[in-house]
Amino acid sequence: MNRTFAAMLAALAAIGLPQAAQAQEKVKPVVMRFAADFPPPPHPAGLAMKYFAERLPKVIPGSEARLYFAGALYTVPCDKRGCTVSASTP
């Protein structure tokens, strides 16, 4: 009984492996957006984000990583009443 079960399990695994490999070939391109609260390179985290953005299209062709470092999406104006967050217009 155990040999039969093991043989069936091995056959199912052999049939399933090519399907898994085929599924990996059909990866769709993605666009990833990263918003950070730290400055761009030479900040260590900025360097890591830049490396990831350069590496992503090599791993998933057609993909893109959009990086937004501190202050790219908004500004925090400060006056004598305090700081407030406001969206910046491009």
Q: Which pLDDT score, from 0 to 100, does residue 25 have?
A: 66
Q: Which pLDDT score, from 0 to 100, does residue 78 have?
A: 72
Give the whole-angstrom CA distance, residue 72 versus residue 90: 10
% of residues, the chain, pLDDT over 70: 62
Q: Is residue 90 part of a domain?
A: no
Q: Are 73 and 66 in contact (CB under 8 A)?
A: no
Q: Is residue 88 part of a domain?
A: no
> Nearest to residue 57, comparing CAs of 34, 36, 31?
31
Q: Is the pLDDT of residue 57 over 90?
A: yes
* Domain coverage including residue 71: 2-80
Q: Is residue 89 part of a domain?
A: no
Q: Is the pLDDT of residue 20 over 80?
A: no
The whole-model pTM stands at: 0.55
With bands split at pLDDT 50, 70 and 90, how would you rate the model's confidence at 19?
A: low
